[in-house]
């Protein structure tokens, strides 16, 4: 997928994206709702929080966020327009106008507006749909059917409290560039359980696995280079590589994982610099690359001298039986970089991940990380080291797997009852996701909007493959059984309406 030129990217601003959770008009107030809204908007504009050129969200979205009807919102916007604080532009929505110190509107100055800066930054904004999901996940009342994290009730809050109370805290000064030595030793021992032999000097502690992707994109791949990856893939939903000027070339999959017979041809055609894969419980499909396919992948990429970036975020979350050994466990040439994290099993908020690789590569990435944040949180690293060394992690995984099995079975029962005529799916052997394949293609953005109006938050397939029109990523890890009982039948009804 060719990266967009920054000047062609849409602005990613949306008023009320965060403030709506802090403020809403009060129906019990003697002040009319439209007056409350216009006063709130006016305060945002006059304080500079909403700068000139900022585009307001569409009226339908503003109505939903504020909980008012369209006529109330239009009246409020009319007050602002009469004062010259906002203006409508054909094809450009409604934007904040420039204002003088006395609050009156004026024409543009030499300094245009922050929008110009937002659109010229080197790091791409998230896809609009991803921005919407990131914002909406924190709105109360929505049923999150695709969220890629464990529900709060599945997280080990009590155990983590014991970890933090296990002894006096050290000074919590900066850690060394590679990260806490005690944590790297603990990670080294943990990796050995899956067959990966990694000396602590070959491990870099990161602020989550996502930072690992960003460091690799910035530090190892030249602009204009190409990486091969499965299609669909989680990487299509983020811009860590595209923002670094790296292009993607997608490879097809089947139920055995990435089809390795396409690697050599595509690598030579694109002069690929790296191959990225999630071999165990792939995001978003849930597929496990089989043992023979893994061996084939290692042999083909070895012949090409092609490095591999292996994302092992989900490999511990097996529900039926452990997956085949990670690619890093098969690596005898130092060609595989392996990403790991505690976010999917133990604590998303701890923000602890790691990269395993050859020592010179790890030192290079550590240098970039030091320039970025001077190291992951010392407190988080201390907690993670105690968590792993104290045996809490293995104990928690046993409990978590049991709860995920129950949730998986419950979702499968609901799918069988409500989606048999609408879609097909496979039973995942682990991870969080069921990849729902609709019998008929449909506009997934329209489905997303219709579901949102019904109180359902979806992760549609076009986030992971731009051309997709028939897949949904469903997660059994977040929504409660009660929410699934309401949400999945409602989703089936919405799909039927959109088909007809």
CATH number at residue 53: 1.10.10.10
Residue 134 domain flag = no
- Indicate whether 67 and 102 sit together in one domain: yes
| Residue-level pLDDT at 127 | 83
Question: Among 361, 391, 421, which residue terminates a domain?
Answer: 391
- Indicate whether 184 and 293 sit together in one domain: yes
Question: Among 340, 369, 391, which residue terminates a domain?
Answer: 391
- Indicate whether 316 and 342 sit together in one domain: yes
- Indicate whether 289 and 414 sit together in one domain: no
Residue 137 domain flag = no
d(CA 178, CA 394): 25
Domain that holds residue 306: 157-391
For residue 458, CA distances in Å to 20, 332, 413 come to 21, 41, 19
- Indicate whether 101 and 31 sit together in one domain: yes
Tokens, residue 134: 């990131």
pLDDT tens per residue across span 12-61: 445 555 444 568 899 999 999 999 999 999 988 888 888 888 889 888 88
| Residue-level pLDDT at 442 | 95
- Indicate whether 453 and 489 sit together in one domain: yes
Measured from the Cβ of residue 295, the count of other Cβ atoms closer than 10 Å reads 14
Q: How many domains does the chain have?
A: 3
Instruction: Name the 3-class secondary structure at 476.
Output: coil
| Residue-level pLDDT at 152 | 96
In this prediction the pTM is 0.83
Question: Among 391, 418, 451, which residue terminates a domain?
Answer: 391
Residue 369 domain flag = yes
Q: Are the beta carbons of 328 and 294 closer than 8 angstroms?
A: no
| Residue-level pLDDT at 11 | 39
| Residue-level pLDDT at 121 | 72
- Indicate whether 250 and 331 sit together in one domain: yes
Question: Which residues lie closer than 8 Å to 364 by C-beta, 6 or more apart?
Answer: 219, 220
Residue 177 domain flag = yes
CATH number at residue 310: 3.40.640.10
d(CA 130, CA 152): 21
- Indicate whether 230 and 162 sit together in one domain: yes
Measured from the Cβ of residue 437, the count of other Cβ atoms closer than 10 Å reads 16
| Residue-level pLDDT at 64 | 84
- Indicate whether 111 and 170 sit together in one domain: no
| Residue-level pLDDT at 6 | 36
d(CA 133, CA 115): 22
Identify the residue whose tokens are 């029109």.
469
Instruction: Name the 3-class secondary structure at 241.
Output: coil
d(CA 73, CA 283): 40
| Residue of 424, 471, 425, 465 lying closest to 447 (CA atoms) | 471
| Residue of 187, 186, 192 lying closest to 212 (CA atoms) | 187
Residue 1 domain flag = no
| Residue-level pLDDT at 111 | 55
| Residue of 239, 218, 242, 6 lying closest to 117 (CA atoms) | 6
- Indicate whether 439 and 427 sit together in one domain: yes
| Residue-level pLDDT at 113 | 66
- Indicate whether 250 and 162 sit together in one domain: yes
Q: Are the beta carbons of 196 and 356 closer than 8 angstroms?
A: yes
- Indicate whether 198 and 312 sit together in one domain: yes
Residue 374 domain flag = yes
| Residue-level pLDDT at 167 | 85
Residue 310 domain flag = yes
Q: Are the beta carbons of 484 and 414 closer than 8 angstroms?
A: yes
| Residue-level pLDDT at 129 | 87
The residue ranges of the chain whose pLDDT is under 70 are: 1-22, 92, 98-113, 116, 119-120, 500
Residue 127 domain flag = no
């Amino acid at each position: 997928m060719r990266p967009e030129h920054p000047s062609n990217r849409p602005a990613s601003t949306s008023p009320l994206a965060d403030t709506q959770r802090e403020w809403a008009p009060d129906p019990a107030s003697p002040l009319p709702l439209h007056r409350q809204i216009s006063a709130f908007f006016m305060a945002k504009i006059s304080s500079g929080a909403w700068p000139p050129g900022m585009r307001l969200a569409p009226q339908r979205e503003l109505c939903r966020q504020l909980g008012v009807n369209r006529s109330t919102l239009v009246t409020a916007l009319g007050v602002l327009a009469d004062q010259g604080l906002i203006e409508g532009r054909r094809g450009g929505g409604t934007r904040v106008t420039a204002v003088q110190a006395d609050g009156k509107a004026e024409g543009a100055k030499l300094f245009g507006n922050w929008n110009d800066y937002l659109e010229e930054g080197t790091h791409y904004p998230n896809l609009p749909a991803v921005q919407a999901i990131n914002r909406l996940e924190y709105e109360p009342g929505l049923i999150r059917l695709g969220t890629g994290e464990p529900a709060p009730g599945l997280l080990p809050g009590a155990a983590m409290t014991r970890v933090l109370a296990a002894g006096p805290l050290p000074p919590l000064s900066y850690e060394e560039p590679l990260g806490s030595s005690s944590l790297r030793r603990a990670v080294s021992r943990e990796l050995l359980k899956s067959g990966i032999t990694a000396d602590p000097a070959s491990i870099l502690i990161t602020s989550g696995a996502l930072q690992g992707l960003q460091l690799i994109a910035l530090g190892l791949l030249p602009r204009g280079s190409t990486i091969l990856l499965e299609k669909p893939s989680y990487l299509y939903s983020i811009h860590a590589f595209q923002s670094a000027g790296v292009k993607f070339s997608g490879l097809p999959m089947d139920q055995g994982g990435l089809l390795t017979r396409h690697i050599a041809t595509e690598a030579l055609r694109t002069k690929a610099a790296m191959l990225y894969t999630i071999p165990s419980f792939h995001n978003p499909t849930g597929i496990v690359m089989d043992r023979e396919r893994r061996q084939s992948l290692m042999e083909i990429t070895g012949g090409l001298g092609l490095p591999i970036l292996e994302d092992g975020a989900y490999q511990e979350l097996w529900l039926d039986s452990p997956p085949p050994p990670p690619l890093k466990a098969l690596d005898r040439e130092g060609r595989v970089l392996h990403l790991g994290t505690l976010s999917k099993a133990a604590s998303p908020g701890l923000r602890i991940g790691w990269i395993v690789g050859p020592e010179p590569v790890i030192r290079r990435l550590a240098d970039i990380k030091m320039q970025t944040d001077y190291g992951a949180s010392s407190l988080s690293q201390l907690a993670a080291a105690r968590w792993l060394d104290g045996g809490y992690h293995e104990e928690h995984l046993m409990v978590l797997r049991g709860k995920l099995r129950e949730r998986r079975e419950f979702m499968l029962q609901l799918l069988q009852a409500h989606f048999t005529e609408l879609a097909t799916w496979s039973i995942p052997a682990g991870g969080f996701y069921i990849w729902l394949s609709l019998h008929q293609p449909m506009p997934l953005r329209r489905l997303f909007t219709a579901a949102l109006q019904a109180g359902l938050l979806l992760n549609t397939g076009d986030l992971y493959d731009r051309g997709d029109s028939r897949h949904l990523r469903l997660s059994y890890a977040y929504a409660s059984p009660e929410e699934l009982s309401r949400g999945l039948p409602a989703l089936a009804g919405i799909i039927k309406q959109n088909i007809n």
